């Protein structure tokens, strides 16, 4: 059953957590935290998402806080380091925040940088990880097909594990996958799954080799598990720059997937300069534990969002809950 609005508002805490490095154009991460009968949960769609899209994230929060999680198959999950669009000389410092991680996801295609900047960053990551490390790049759909083809040739020498969302649309993904098939470089779909009206369209079109799945944008752990089972493709479980509470939701999803062939993108709490718990879900020996997280009252108070932002989030909560009720 859908919790009442009063029940949701009664435990709601809105926080704004500073980031160590600018990421996705953000310098801080806002999130609304809720406590349900089964523990704390998170509602944190990005500010630019409309209410219809945000309602799916609220459904996920309610699923995690008000229902038992599916059976877990592991107690920890391997995770990758995440390297924002930083200068090459800053790469080593970023990787140091992900102890034991042997896979790095590198952000590329930033609008304020060039392909040469991307190549230099990936080169620095390869130098830091050595030949045995794994590197995946994420363009967030910012290249067109020609730009993607050119970029993949420029980056091919770094022995990439896969390229994530090189282009925006399913049709473009299918085209770049066809053009570069001789390179043997797998294509992973993220936005074409989590922000699509039909998350399975990319799999049916043969436009990707791997699906990146995130618990919040897909409506919760159960919805994500159903999608991965139907898609029949290897998956990477990732996060959306969540607090440790949101990371916990993703870790429970990863722990419930029968076959987990890739390191997960669930180490991003390491990119936060502060968290809501003194024991954050950050990588330890390259893995993140699968456990519930209870926030510290003092940290909730210390990182409480400004009054106007708190009101904005509570109003958003009310609107999105009304959409779910309808």
The residues carrying an active-site annotation are: 107, 214
190 is in an annotated binding site: yes
Q: Which of 192, 195, 226, 223 is nearest to 206 (CA)?
A: 192
DSSP secondary-structure letter at 79? B
Using DSSP, state whether 193 is helix, strand or coil.
helix
Q: Are 139 and 191 a contacting pair, CB within 8 Å?
A: no
Q: Which residue has the tokens 């950050």?
A: 282
Q: What is the distance between the alpha carbons of residues 196 and 169, in angstroms, rounded to a whole number?
A: 10
Using DSSP, state whether 26 is helix, strand or coil.
strand
89 is in an annotated binding site: no
SS (H, E, C) 233-287: CCEEEECCCCCHHHHHHHHHHHHHCCCCCCCEECCHHHHECCCCCCCCCCCECCE
Binding residues: 138, 164, 190
Feature table: binding site for Mg(2+): 138, 164, 190
């Amino acid at each position: 059953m859908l919790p009442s609005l009063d029940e949701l508002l009664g435990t709601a805490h809105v926080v704004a957590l500073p980031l160590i490095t600018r990421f996705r154009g953000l310098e801080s991460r806002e999130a609304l935290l809720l406590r349900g009968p089964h523990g704390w949960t998170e509602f944190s769609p990005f500010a630019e998402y409309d209410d219809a899209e945000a309602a799916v994230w609220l459904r996920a929060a309610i699923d995690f806080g008000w229902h038992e999680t599916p059976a877990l198959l592991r107690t920890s999950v391997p995770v990758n380091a995440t390297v924002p669009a930083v200068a090459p000389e800053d790469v080593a410092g970023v990787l140091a925040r992900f102890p034991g991680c042997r896979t790095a996801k590198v952000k590329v295609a930033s609008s304020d940088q060039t392909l040469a900047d991307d190549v230099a960053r990936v080169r620095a990551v390869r130098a830091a990880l050595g030949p045995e490390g794994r590197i995946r790049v994420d363009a967030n759909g910012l290249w067109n097909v020609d730009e993607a083809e050119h970029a993949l040739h420029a980056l091919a020498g770094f022995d990439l594990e896969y390229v994530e969302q090189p282009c925006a649309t399913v049709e473009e993904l299918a085209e770049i996958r066809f053009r570069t098939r001789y390179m043997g470089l797998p294509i992973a779909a993220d936005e074409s799954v989590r922000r699509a009206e039909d998350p399975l369209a990319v799999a049916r079109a043969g436009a990707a080799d791997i699906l990146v799945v995130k618990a919040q944008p897909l409506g919760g752990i159960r919805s994500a598990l159903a999608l991965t089972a139907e898609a029949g493709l290897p998956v990477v479980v990732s996060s959306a720059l969540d607090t440790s509470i949101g990371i916990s939701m993703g870790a429970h999803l990863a722990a419930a997937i029968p076959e987990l062939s890739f390191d997960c993108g669930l180490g991003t709490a390491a990119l936060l300069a502060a968290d809501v718990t003194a024991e954050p879900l950050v990588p330890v020996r390259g893995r993140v534990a699968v456990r519930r997280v209870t926030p510290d009252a003092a940290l909730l108070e210390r990182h409480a969002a400004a009054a106007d932002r708190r009101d904005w989030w509570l109003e958003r909560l009310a609107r999105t809950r009304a959409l779910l009720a309808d």
